[in-house]
Structures are given as structure tokens and as C-alpha cells.
Amino acid sequence: MALNFKRESFNARILSVGAYRPPRVVHNNDIVEKIDSSDEWIQQRTGIITRHYADKNESLIDMAIKASEIAIKKAGMTKDDIDAVIFATISYPYQAPSAATELIARLDRPHAAAFDISAACAGFTYGVGLASDLVRGGTSKYVLVVGSEKFTDFLNLEDRATAFIFADGAGAVIIGPAPEPGIGPTIWGSDADSRDAIWMNPSWLEFKNNPNAPWPFIAQEGQKVFRWAVFSISKIGNSAIDAAGIRPEELKAFIPHQANLRIIETMAKDMKLPDSIVIADDIRETGNTSAASIPLAMDTLLNNHPELHGGLALIIGYGAGLVYAGQVVKLPPNPAATSK
């Protein structure tokens, strides 16, 4: 016997974006002494000039709440409108329960569906794809997608390969129904043969059982990650553009994961993106915030270029796993215009 129910289907789009950066700004010169480096070298290799660090007592949930509240307000909604939360992070310090359930409890929305994604720097674009499917399938109406990281809890400030790269911050978007498609098909996948390119070691069990085991700091093989991102992810971007049924010249912006400015510029060139496209470079002032980097970069881009509201953007996340996901999205409308 077949199931007997009807469910209306919808289109989906990003309705708003919110961002939070901790107030403490850390310049390259503040960290170079411990890693025998220089401001000039860091800028040449990564494009990073500054990054933001959270205070010791500021958690990634504290940051996520601030970003989420901004996104909810910009969408002209209240927290009661949110019926699902997808939380992308790899720096939440508890195995269970999830960061998403802590967030909804503190937002006083304790009965919303809530779960975490562990897809590192691709977590946000994984979340966007899942949220779009939830809305289009009628399972949820308004989904809050959050990326929040407090990497300073897992950052070895004496590691020359990572100390200057990673930072703290949070970004959030509201995804809901729309009269026409606003989120293209998600192109995603993995390259698990290179799983050891970015890692957090030792495991919790090793840390528990070995009194001499170090804290599980984040580490990476920078050149391996660079080559993979440059030569593989640009193809994913082109596939996402094709899947959305548009031409590259119809894009208004390119907002990739903010891992490294050289990677971003090389990807744009390799994809043959037109010069008219605005390319996000929030990495310069925010560093690499993993799952938070794309919504943070989106927020900066729209603040600096308000004319891009409502335009088409290519977003791509990629990171530890190695995993990736990308899609073409319609950027949220200008909240100043919609509130009039």
C-alpha cells in the first residue's frame, strides 16, 4: 500500500546573512616572533594581514548566537520562525550533544530540528545544499545555517605551518522559500586518498590514554593542500556554474572558502571568470575561519558592494577530508531596501 499524503514543493534561496568577528584584531607582527617569520612573508604566501581572535571566555556558540541574531533580524523574522538549524564546525569542544542543540537552547528555540556538520572548511556549503533540499522538499520552511569556529582553542601558536593562518569567527544565513530558484544544484564530493593533508592529532583516546600526548592541535601539509585546491577545485566551480544553467559572465561575485589569497586568485584565473566579477578577499583581514569563512566573506562583500544584493554568486568550500562542495546562489536582498 502506498503512502497517502501531499506535500507542496518550493524553491529556495538565501534570505539574509549575518556575521560576527571577535573584537580582538591580531596583526602578523603580533605572531611572527614565535614562528620565525615576517609580516611580508605571510602576506606574500597567503594575503593575510590581520585576523580576529576570540577572548578566552568567548565560545564558538557565543559567536554563533551573535551571527544568527543578525541574520534573523535582517530577514525580518524572529527566532520562532526558524524550524531547523544546521551547524557547521570542527572546533566545538564536545563530542555530544551537538553545537546545534546548544545554539537552539540559547536562542530559546529548543524544539527546532538541529544537527552538526563536520566537513571542515566545506561545512558551510554542505549546509547550504542540505538546507536548500529541506526547504524545496517541504521538510522545513526556514533553515538557519551557521558556520562558527574558535580555532584558537586548537591552534599551536608555535607551528610555522598553521599559526598565522587560522582564526575565529561566525557567520550565518537564513534559507527559506522563494518564488524562483535561488540556490543551484550542489556539486560535492571527497578526495579521501589525501585525508592526511589536514588533521587534528592525536585522537581523544590517545590524549586520554597517553599522559605524554600533546593537545590535538590542527596541522596541515600546506603545499599538498595548495596543489589540490588549485588544480581540483576550479573544476568543481565550473561544474557548479554549468549545473545552475548559467554562463560565467552572468555571475556577479565569486565567494570561495577564504583559505589563501593565492589559491583564490589562481582558481578564478583557472575558471576563466570574467574581470567584471567581484572576488571575495576577506582572507586579508579575517584569516582562515574554516566553516565560517564563506558567510563572513559574503557579509563583507555585500557591505562593500551593496549593488551585489540579489545578484548571482558562486560559492565553494573545500577542506580537511579532503572534501568539497559548491553551488551558485542568489545573494540575499538588501535588508535596507526590503525594510522600507
Asked whether residue 3 is assigned to any structural domain, the reply reads no
115-136: pLDDT as tens digits:
999 999 999 999 999 999 999 9
**296/170 same-domain check:** no
Q: Is 121 a catalytic residue?
A: yes
Same-domain pairing of 170 and 192: no
Judgement on whether residues 30 and 114 belong to the same structural domain of the protein: yes
Catalytic residue among 257, 260, 305, 334: 257
Domain containing 69: what range?
A: 11-178
CB atoms within 10 A of CB 160: 13
Are 166 and 304 part of one and the same domain? no
What digits encode the pLDDT tens for the residues 274-332? 999 999 999 999 999 999 999 999 999 999 999 999 999 999 999 998 999 999 999 99
Do 154 and 32 lie in one domain? The reply is: yes
Residue partners of 121: CB distance under 8 A and separation at least 6: 257, 259, 288, 290, 291, 293, 317, 318, 319, 320
Q: Are residues 47 and 172 in the same domain?
A: yes
Looking at the structure, tell me whether residues 97 and 135 fall in a common domain.
Answer: yes
Give 79-92 pLDDT, tens digit per residue: 999 999 999 999 99
| 193 and 306 both lie in a single domain | yes
Q: For the chain, how many structural domains are there in total?
A: 2
Look at residue 163 and tell me if it is in a domain: yes
| Boundary of a domain, candidates 158, 178, 198 | 178
pLDDT classification of 340: cutoffs 50, 70, 90: very low
The answer to whether 222 and 259 are in contact (CB under 8 A) is no
Determine the average pLDDT of the residues in 91-113.
96
**Which CATH number belongs to the domain containing residue 149 in this structure?**
3.40.47.10
Our answer to whether residue 305 is catalytic in this structure is: no
Closest CA to 219 of 95, 120, 80, 112: 120
327 with 214, same domain: the answer is yes
Catalytic one among 28, 238, 260, 288?
288
**168 and 281: one domain?**
no
Q: What is the pLDDT of residue 338?
A: 61
Q: What does the block give as the cell for 289? A: 575561519
- Per the CB < 8 A criterion, the answer to whether 49 and 258 are in contact is no
Catalytic residue among 52, 121, 238, 260, which? 121
Q: What is the pLDDT of residues 207-255, one digit of tens each?
A: 999 989 999 999 998 888 888 988 899 999 999 999 999 999 999 999 9
